[in-house]
Structure 1
Amino acid sequence: MKSARVVSIVLSVMILGACAANERQTAENDAVYKESGNTMNRDDRHDLYNRSNNDNNYGFVREVKSPVPGKTADFERNDTIDREKTARTISKMTVALPNVLDSSVVVTDSEVLISYKLSETDDKTRFETADQVKKTAMSAVPRWYHVYVTDDPALRQYVENIGSIDPYTANKNKAVRDTIRMMKESSPQGRKMSDTENENGETKEDRMINSR
């Protein structure tokens, strides 16, 4: 009887010792940690220890064309772009063009306004440069954007003023429309974009809306 009790005590001590050793091993193993009471494996949460990985990833999205004939993609205009970064990109691309000495660019939610200075000001150069500047900007923004350009020095300040307008400023839309009107009146806009779009990428419907 005494022998059985001794064996029982020895077994209990061995079990407790094994549990303690296991807990020490878990605590010392930096491959696991506790969060909200749940053990998580570092190998399963690699991103927590490599937060900079996302900075090196490419952006990738796959879209599948709708099988419904005539149904177009549902673009959200508010899904948008980084406007300041886009303006900077367009400005750099613009000054790389022949005859463009400097460039000021404003990107709104649906328009790009560009004021630039020419090294040559004959009519042919003005027209060709306007076409190049416009198409350069078109390549950097979603297709619903309209692009307006000017080489009139008197309008540079108007364009730059729009760039400093607070989004909540009263009559900001009117200020943009008035500046666009002056840009189109004073400067060539290049060639038509297509049979259904004018020089600025506007359709007939766009022009009707903008005239309201």
Structure 2
Amino acid sequence: MLIKKGVAILGICTLALTACAGNDTDQAGQGQKVNTFNETDNHLHTNSHEPGFKNSDMKKNDTGFGYVRYKRTGVMTAEDQPKFEIDREQLADMISKLSAQVPNVDDVSTLVTDEEVLVVYATDTEDRHDTANQVKKMAMSVVPGWYHIYVTDDTGLRQNIENFATLNTNSREIHDLIDGVVKQMKSTPQGTVNEKGYENSEAQNEEYEDNTQSN
């Protein structure tokens, strides 16, 4: 009797385990997606590294990191290529606000085109070169690396870049007009980094001093 009772108990346990395993198998077989994001602790799990995975459940005001994994498959045509857009108005807003945090800098105007950043600011600094350098680095921290960045503390040029605010890259002779303003901006200190944000020793300052002497 004891042997039979033990066999019966073992059989019940076996059936229970089999039922649990079968239930999990059924769920997987029905195509239920494994939840790779723990909603309680906002942690991404290691099994989430699959093509196309991204943390789409992250709230906009969350402090979590952004993560996207993308895997290209097959041959991509020109139509399939991803298209990226830059919000130039938002970039200009960020640069102006950041530059206004530089000591002795006030009233900052920023124009962002398709390849240039023009920043005009008022300042009462005693070191114009250092201030120009700081303002330019503020812009560097925001825009992509291909941008050319020009700054000036000549507030007389503010109206010049404001005149471009309502124009676009297709406006007639726009690049020639911008180049003309850039030339005037370069007659003022540009800091110790060049227009693309790389350290450039005293080259920009020498150019400024040469232009000043020639005038």
- Normalised-by-shorter TM-score class: 0.5 to 0.7
Alpha-carbon displacement from aligned partner over 1:70-95 (angstroms, at most 9, x marks no partner): xxxxxx9x734211111101110000
* C-alpha separation in 2, matches of 1:114 and 1:165: 17
* C-alpha separation in 2, matches of 1:54 and 1:168: 38
Q: Which amino acid aligns with 2:189?
A: P
Q: Which runs of 4+ in 1 moved over 4 A?
A: 52-55
The match for 1:97 is 102
Mark the structure with the bigger radius of gyration: 1
The match for 1:7 is none
* C-alpha separation in 1, matches of 2:114 and 2:69: 24
The match for 1:171 is 173
The match for 2:149 is 147
* C-alpha separation in 2, matches of 1:117 and 1:53: 44
Matched, 1:180 2:185: no
The match for 2:122 is 117
Any stretches of 5+ residues in structure 1 without a counterpart? Answer: 1-51, 65-75, 200-212
**CA deviation after TM superposition for structure 1 residue 168, in Å:** 2.7
Alpha-carbon displacement from aligned partner over 1:43-83 (angstroms, at most 9, x marks no partner): xxxxxxxxx9676286434589xxxxxxxxxxx9x734211
Q: Which amino acid aligns with 1:118?
A: T
The verdict on how the C-alpha distance between 1:137 and 1:181 changes in structure 2, with shifts beyond 3 A counting, is same
The match for 1:60 is 67
The verdict on how the C-alpha distance between 1:135 and 1:62 changes in structure 2, with shifts beyond 3 A counting, is farther
CA contact (8 A) 2:91 2:143 kept: yes
Q: Percent of counterpart pairs with the same letter?
A: 41
The verdict on how the C-alpha distance between 1:55 and 1:173 changes in structure 2, with shifts beyond 3 A counting, is farther
Alpha-carbon displacement from aligned partner over 1:28-50 (angstroms, at most 9, x marks no partner): xxxxxxxxxxxxxxxxxxxxxxx
The 3-state SS of whatever aligns with 2:186 is helix
Q: Which amino acid aligns with 1:159?
A: I
CA contact (8 A) 2:119 2:150 kept: yes
Matched, 1:88 2:90: no
* C-alpha separation in 2, matches of 1:164 and 1:148: 20
Q: Which amino acid aligns with 1:182?
A: Q
Matched, 1:191 2:192: yes
The match for 2:136 is 134
* C-alpha separation in 2, matches of 1:105 and 1:55: 31
TM-score, reference length from structure 1: 0.55
* C-alpha separation in 2, matches of 1:115 and 1:60: 36
Alpha-carbon displacement from aligned partner over 1:77-122 (angstroms, at most 9, x marks no partner): x7342111111011100001101011000111111100000033x4
The match for 1:157 is 159
CA contact (8 A) 1:162 1:175 kept: no
CA contact (8 A) 2:114 2:169 kept: no
* C-alpha separation in 2, matches of 1:162 and 1:96: 25
The verdict on how the C-alpha distance between 1:62 and 1:132 changes in structure 2, with shifts beyond 3 A counting, is farther
The 3-state SS of whatever aligns with 1:163 is coil
What is the RMSD of the two structures over their aligned residues, measured on CA atoms?
3.2
The match for 1:108 is 113
Aligned pairs, number: 134
The verdict on how the C-alpha distance between 1:126 and 1:167 changes in structure 2, with shifts beyond 3 A counting, is same
